[in-house]
């Protein structure tokens, strides 16, 4: 019996010593196993290096770009441009959230004012679980406020007043927060710098909230850009139906400004992270516009020095068919199979599985446009962003646009061709797609 007791003691001591938490050694903290699943509708772009810039001499000899070797981290990218159907999900969310906020001002069930412990929530959250009942007289009166008035209705049809679809969003200005002059001084117990808010106003730093920028924008696409962009051209059917009609559901959304594309990206981030939080998963997944370098790296599809996403110097395949939707020849728009933009994925993808990186619609990137950006940006994950203020000159509001569109000639389809548009402009030939940084290094 005594021998058995000694044996048990020895075994217990051995197992106790084998527990790293009780060994006095540095073992790190417990973390749950985490795995990043493939995001829906996105493809993985591995990290790598490439030569960014034109693969041929500049057509205009403008000398605004050069060839530069860069390295880019891994990321996920939408395999197609954001479609009308996907953007309508954003518009519908904004519409429903505004309606529920209005209902909540008079019917408390539509807002959550306390958490599970009875503590007040400020500001209150929308309660999406409560069903809206249009037959209820009190609710119907509030719902009618979302429609155009009788004087503004067409043929008496009740339509949502798109002017009401304002989305308020937030982002953190990391560039200002990273400045040493703006950091917290532990000796004086205060911030000593100043920041410029999203309205261009200088303000003292009184905490982290000073770096939280706010924006508010109407999210409905500018459908009249179809008429405005093309003088003496009959495009009224597109203005009336392109965004709203089911026939164009899989076509790329257009008439969206750079700010609207940014607001969409922030909403998409919130949509996913709210779901992940509800499932008990930590971490934040951020959707955003691609940097100019990320866009070109992805467009090249691991075919460095080739002028087009499909490789080779030609816009036709060996059968003589065009490889993208653009303006071929001398204005024969239909020779490539489409007159305006076409449903996404109508042409073969590049080597990474990305569709329409050339043609269909041009795409916003995250970067501000500067002719000399290649000369001063870093060679690792290069990024030149500038948050222009409302009162600044138009030149400060230029954003890089890539890929060319259905109305552009072949030169603008080339991987290395860069151009720009003003951030508050809306065009019938510019859309966008999102990227998401890959977490965890090499895959």
CATH of the domain at 355: 3.90.1580.10
Q: Give the separation between CA 334 and CA 327, rounded to whole angstroms.
A: 8
Would you state the pLDDT for residue 63? 59
Q: Is residue 71 part of a domain?
A: yes
pTM of structure: 0.90
CA nearest 160: which of 220, 101, 115?
A: 220
Burial class from Cβ neighbours inside 10 Å (0-12, 13-18, 19+) for residue 385 reads: middle
Is 385 within a domain? Answer: yes
Whole-number Cα distances in Å, 362 to 35, 254, 411: 34, 9, 13
Q: What is the secondary structure of 261-312 as a DSSP string?
A: HHHHHHHHHHHHHHHHHHTT--S---EEPPPHHHHHHHHHTT-TT-SSTTSS
> Considering only CA atoms, which of 192, 258, 216, 179 is closest in space to residue 431?
258
Q: Does 78 map to a domain?
A: yes
Query: pLDDT (tens digit, 0 to 9) for every residue of the chain, 443 residues total?
Result: 555 555 555 555 454 555 666 778 888 877 666 677 789 999 999 999 999 988 766 555 555 667 889 999 999 999 999 999 999 999 999 999 999 999 998 888 898 888 888 888 888 889 889 999 888 888 999 999 999 988 888 887 888 999 999 999 999 988 888 888 888 888 888 888 888 887 778 888 888 888 888 999 999 999 999 999 999 999 999 999 999 999 999 999 999 999 999 999 999 999 998 888 777 776 678 999 999 999 999 999 999 888 999 988 899 998 999 999 999 988 899 999 999 999 999 999 999 999 999 999 999 999 999 988 998 999 999 999 998 888 889 999 999 999 999 999 999 999 999 999 999 999 999 999 999 999 874 55
* The pLDDT value given to residue 442: 52
Residue for token pair 């106790």: 16
Quick one: tokens of 119? 């503590």
pLDDT value of residue 330: 81
Number of domains in the chain: 1
| Cβ within 8 Å of residue 303, ≥6 positions away | 309, 311, 350, 351
282 within domain boundaries: yes
Write down the pLDDT at residue 25. Answer: 86
> Which pLDDT score, from 0 to 100, does residue 348 have?
94
| 212 within domain boundaries | no
| Residue-level pLDDT at 283 | 64
Supply the pLDDT for residue 274.
85
| Integer angstrom CA distances of residue 233 from 183, 226, 228, 239 | 55, 9, 9, 12
DSSP code per residue over 282-293: -S---EEPPPHH
The pLDDT assigned to 307 comes to 93
Structure confidence at residue 349 (pLDDT)? 96
pLDDT at 62: 57
pLDDT of residue 246: 96
Q: Residue 28's pLDDT is what?
A: 83
Report yes or no on 119 lying in a domain.
no
In a domain, 302, yes or no: yes
Which residues constitute the domain of residue 429? 45-82+252-258+265-443
Is 239 among the domain residues? Answer: no
User: Would you say 437 and 75 are in contact if contact means Cβ atoms under 8 Å apart?
Assistant: yes
């Amino acid at each position: 019996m005594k021998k058995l007791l000694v044996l048990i003691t020895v075994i217990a001591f051995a197992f106790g010593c084998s527990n790293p938490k009780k060994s006095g050694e540095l073992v790190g903290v417990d973390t749950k196993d985490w795995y990043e699943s493939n995001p829906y509708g996105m493809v993985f772009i591995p990290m790598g290096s490439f030569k960014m810039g034109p693969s041929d001499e500049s057509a205009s000899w403008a000398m605004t770009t050069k060839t530069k070797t860069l390295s880019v981290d891994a990321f996920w990218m939408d395999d197609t441009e954001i479609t009308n159907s996907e953007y309508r999900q954003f518009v519908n969310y904004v519409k429903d959230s505004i309606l529920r906020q209005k209902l909540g001002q008079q019917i408390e069930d539509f807002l959550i004012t306390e958490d599970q412990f009875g503590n007040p929530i400020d500001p209150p959250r929308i309660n999406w679980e409560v069903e809206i009942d249009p037959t209820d007289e009190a609710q119907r009166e509030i719902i009618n406020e979302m429609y155009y008035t009788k004087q503004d209705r067409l043929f008496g049809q009740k339509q949502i007043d798109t002017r009401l679809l304002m989305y308020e969003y937030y982002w953190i200005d990391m560039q200002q927060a990273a400045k040493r002059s703006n950091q917290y001084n532990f000796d004086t117990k205060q911030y000593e710098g100043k920041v410029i808010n999203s309205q261009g106003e200088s303000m003292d730093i009184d905490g982290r909230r000073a770096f939280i920028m706010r924006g508010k924008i109407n999210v409905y696409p500018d459908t009249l850009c179809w008429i405005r962009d093309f003088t003496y051209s009959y495009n009224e059917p597109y203005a009336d139906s392109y965004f709203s009609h089911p026939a164009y559901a899989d076509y790329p959304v257009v008439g969206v400004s750079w700010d609207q594309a940014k607001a969409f990206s922030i909403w998409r981030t919130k949509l996913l992270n709210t779901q992940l939080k509800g499932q008990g998963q930590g971490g934040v997944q951020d959707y955003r516009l691609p940097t100019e370098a990320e866009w070109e790296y992805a467009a090249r599809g691991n075919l460095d020095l080739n002028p087009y996403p499909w490789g080779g110097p030609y816009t036709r395949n060996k059968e003589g068919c065009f490889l993208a939707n653009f303006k071929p020849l001398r204005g024969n728009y239909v020779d490539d199979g489409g007159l305006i933009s076409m449903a996404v994925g109508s042409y073969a993808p590049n080597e990474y599985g990305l569709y329409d990186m050339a043609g269909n619609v041009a795409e916003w990137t995250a970067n501000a446009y500067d002719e000399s950006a290649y000369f001063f940006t870093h060679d690792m994950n290069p990024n030149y962003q500038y948050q222009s203020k409302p009162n600044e000159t138009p030149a400060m509001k230029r954003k890089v646009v890539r890929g060319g569109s259905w109305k552009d000639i072949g030169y603008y389809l080339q991987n290395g061709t860069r151009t720009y548009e003003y951030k508050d402009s809306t065009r019938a030939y510019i859309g966008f797609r999102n990227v998401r940084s890959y977490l965890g290094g090499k895959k």
